[in-house]
Chain A
Amino acid sequence: MSKEVATAVKTICTQCNNDRSRMMDIVRAVQEQFSCVSDEAIDVIARQVSTPRVEVESTVSFYTFLSKTPKGKIVIRLCNDIIDRMNGFDVIANAFKQELGINFGETTPDGKISLEHTACIGMCDQAPAALINNVVVTDLSSDKVRSIVKTLKETGDPQKLVSRLGDGNNANDLVKAMVHNNIRKKGDVVFAFSEFTPNAGLEKALAMSPVEVINEVNTARLRGRGGAGFPAGMKWEFTRNAESGEKYIICNADEGEPGTFKDRVILTELPDRLFEGMTIAGYAIGAENGILYLRGEYAYLYDFLSQMLNERRRQGLLGTDILGKKGLNFDIRIQMGAGAYICGEETALISSCEGLRGDPKNRPPFPAQEGYLKNPTCVNNVETFCCVVSILDKGAAWFSEIGTKQSHGTKLLSVSGDCQSPGVYELPFGITVNELLKEVGAPNAAAVQIGGPSGQMICKDDFNRTICYDDLATGGSVMVFGPERNILDVVDYFMEFFIEESCGYCTPCRAGNVLLKQYLEKIIDGKGEPCDLEVLQDLGETVKTASRCGLGQTSANPILTTLKNFRSAYEALVKKSKDGMQPSFDIQAVLQESQDIAGRKSVHFS
C-alpha cells in the first residue's frame, strides 16, 4: 500500500480521536475516499484505534455499504423491494445492465461505476428508485436509465443527475433531492405543524420538573411508534431511574422495514420538532447526549440535518444552559448507518453506534439499564419524539382524545403498492383497513401487508379490522396488493429479504429462514405435498420462538400469516405423492455432475 493511503487513513482515524467507538465514522470515511476498506486500511485502523484487527474487519464485512474490494467511484444501488418489483424493476434492471455492459455485483472495466441491488431505500411511494452514491433517483423508466448512465459517463458526478427538485425541504439547498414528500393526509399530532408554535413544547416541559414531564407522557399513554408499541413514558422512567452512568437518548431513524418511509418525511419536513422532542427527552431523563442514528440510505439528508442542529445550537436550543435554564445541557450528534436492516432493532442499533457489527445484544440487561457503551440508554422512534412535542404543548388530555381507548393519538402510515395515491397518511388509531383503502384509492385490494414483511398479510375478510396496538399493530408500513398479484411470490421475496438481512448469530434465524424459503419454493414449484404445509407451520413457529431478536421472531410472519389468511393459495398447489417419492428430488439433475466427471452414465438411473 502506498504511503499516502496509510497517511490518509491515519488522518481519518485521528480526526475521530482514534476512538474505537467511532468505527462507523472511520470506515465510512475510508470507504468514501478509497471506494473500499482494504486489508491494508483495516491494519492501519486497527493499530490506530488499538483494537483487534478482526473487530474492524467484522464491522466492514457486516454492512452492505462497506466493502473490502474496490468499488467504482459511483455506486448505483437499485432498490429491489417488492413494490419496485411490481413497478417494473426487471425492465429497469435490464436497462442498467445493458447501458453499463455489466451485471449486478460488478464494476465497469474502467473501474468507474458499480451496479448493485439493495433492499428498501424508503422510496416505495415513488418506485422504482435507486441510490446513486447519495443521490436518490425515483420513478425510474428505461428512458431515464439511459439518460442517467449517459450523464454519469460524461460527467462522473451523480449530483449532475439532479434536475427537478422535490417539494418542501427536498428543494432546500442542502438537500437538493428529487424526492417527493407525498404527504397525503395531515393529522392533528404530527403534521399539523402550522398549528404549533416552534419549541412551545420544550418551553412548557422546562417549566415542569423532569418527573412531571414523564408523568405527562405516561398520562397520554404514548406508545412507541416504531412498531413494538412499548409505553414511551415507562421507558423514560426506567432510563431515568437507572443508577449508574451517563445517560443517552437515541433516536432510531433507521427505518428499514420495507414499505416504510414516514420517517423520511419527518426528517425532511419536521427535523426541528424531532430535535425538540429529543431535547425534551434529554431533560426528562437527565441525559446530556443524544444520537440520531440515520440510515445510510438517507445520507442525502445529512448536511441539512447537521445545519438544523447548528441552527438550534445558535438559538440556544441545544448545547449548554438550554433556553437559559442553568445546568440544562443537551446536544445531539448524527450517527450514520451503512445499510443494515437489523440495525433498526434497538440493541443492534446501539451496537452500530458503538462502532461494532450491528449484532443484537442479549436482553436483559435492557438498554434502559445498560445500553450505549454500557450507559443507560433510551431509544425511541422518530415519530415518537414528534408526538412528545405535541403532548407537552397541548397536554396529555388533548392527546388521549385522539384515537382509540387503548391506542392514543395518530399513526403515520406509509402506503405503497397497488393504490392510486401512495404516500404518507396521518390517521387516528382505530381506522379500519377498509376506510384506509378508501382513502388511498384501492377499492380492489386483495391483500394488505400491515407492518411490513415482519407484520402480517391480511385478506379481504379482515379488512374491517382496525389499525391500533390491540388489533393490527404497525410501525407504519402498509403495502397494498391487487387481485392480479401472486401472494406466494410476495412471500417468497420477503423470505429472501430476511435471509439477506439476518445477522447470522443464531441458528433458528440463520438456517431456519433458508429452510422456510426452500419449502416455500418447493410448494410454489408445484412439488409440495399437503404435509409440507404442516412442516412449514412447525418450522415457522420454531424460528419465531427460538430466535434471539426481533428479526427472527418475526421473519416467519409472511409465511405464518399467509398460511392462515391465504391457505387456499397454498392448498391449490400441493398434491399428495402417490408412490411416496419426493417430486422435488430430480435424480438426473443431481447425478449430472458426477456423470460428467466420470464420463459414464448411471447404471441405476438411465
Chain B
Amino acid sequence: MEKPKVATTSLAGCFGCHMSLLDIDDRILKLIELVDFDKSPVDDIKEFTGRCLVGLVEGGCANEENVRVLQDFRKHCDLLISVGDCATMGGLPAMRNNVPLKECLEEAFINGPSVYNPSGKVPNDPEIPLLLNQVYPCHEVVKIDYHIPGCPPSADTLWEILVALLNNKPIDLPYELIKYD
C-alpha cells in the first residue's frame, strides 16, 4: 500500500517548529517508514506533486505569498494542522498588528536607531511579496482542522500527534506535553 503523504511549510514563522520536528531524532527513521514527504523544506520539494493526507503549517500569514502557499496547502491536503503559536495565534510577528503598516516599514528601514540605509527608501523590489495590513493566524485565512499550541510544540508532542493521526487513534497527550509555563 502506498504510504500517506505529508507536506510542511513555514510561513511567517522562525522555522523553530520545523527544528522541533527534527528533534524527534532517530524516530525520523520510523517516520519515514510511515509516510512520504511531499512539498516541504525537509526534502526541498518546492511544489506539490499530488494529494497529501496531512499538511503541517508553521507560522501565520504576514504577506501575500504566505496566503498563496497556505491556500495551496488547503487545496492539496486532506487535513491541515496549524503548528505552533504563530500559526494558531499570529505569535510574535503579530506584535506589529497594533502599529500601522507604514510606520512599521519606516521604523524598520528608515527611522530605526540601528538602521544604515543610505537610499533612505523602503525596499520595493517586485520580487518582494507585499505585506498584509496585519499578521493573520492561519484559521482566519483557510479552514484549519487541528491546532497544536506551543512555541514550539515539543518533538514528543509532534511525534505523539502524528503517530496517533497516522494510526487513526485518539490523541492522548500526557500533561507535561500540554503544559506551557
Contacts and interface: CB of A to CB of B under 8 A. Distances in A.
A597 B134 CA distance: 14
22 contacts: A529-B143, A579-B75, A580-B75, A580-B80, A580-B143, A582-B140, A585-B136, A585-B140, A585-B142, A587-B67, A590-B134, A591-B64, A591-B130, A591-B132, A593-B102, A594-B133, A597-B102, A600-B124, A600-B126, A600-B130, A603-B129, A604-B67
B122 interface: yes
Interface string B110-128: 0000000000001010100
Nearest to B101: A593
B129 A590 contact: no
A605 B80 CA distance: 22
A604 B70 CA distance: 12
Interface string A561-585: 0000000000000000101111011
Contact of A594 (B75, B131, B142, B143): B131
Nearest to B63: A594
Contact of A597 (B64, B75, B101): B101
A592 B133 contact: yes
Interface string A594-606: 1101111011110
> Which of B65, B130, B133, B139 has its CB near the most chain A CB atoms (within 10 A)?
B130
B89 to A, nearest CB: 11
Interface in B126-175: 126, 129-134, 136, 139-143
A605 B129 CA distance: 11
Interface in B75-108: 75, 80, 101-102, 105
A415 B124 CA distance: 61
Contacts of A580: 74-75, 80, 142-143
Given A604-B67, A604-B68, A598 B139 contact: no
Given A600-B124, A604-B67, A605-B64, A577 B143 contact: yes
Listed from nearest, the 7 A-B pairs whose CB atoms lie closest are A594-B130, A580-B74, A604-B68, A580-B143, A593-B133, A590-B132, A604-B64
A606 to B, nearest CB: 10
Given A591-B133, A604-B67, 10 more contacts: A529-B143, A531-B143, A580-B75, A580-B143, A581-B142, A585-B140, A585-B141, A591-B64, A594-B131, A597-B122
Contacts of B142: 580-582, 585
A581 B143 CA distance: 6
Given A582-B142, A597-B102, A602 B130 contact: yes
Nearest to A595: B130
> Which of A581, A584, A590, A591 has its CB near the most chain B CB atoms (within 10 A)?
A590
B2 to A, nearest CB: 23
A228 B64 CA distance: 51
Interface string A408-433: 00000000000000000000000000
A528 to B, nearest CB: 12
Contacts, number: 70
Given A580-B143, A587-B64, A604-B64, A594 B101 contact: yes
A603 B143 CA distance: 24
B27 to A, nearest CB: 30
A590 B65 contact: no
A217 B86 CA distance: 57
Given A593-B133, A594-B133, A603 B141 contact: no
A472 to B, nearest CB: 37
Contacts of B74: 579-581
Given A582-B143, A604-B64, A604-B67, A590 B133 contact: yes
A581 to B, nearest CB: 5
A133 to B, nearest CB: 35
Interface in A500-540: 529, 531
Contact of A602 (B64, B136, B140): B64
A497 B122 CA distance: 41
A344 B43 CA distance: 61
Given A594-B130, A594-B132, A604-B129, A582 B141 contact: yes
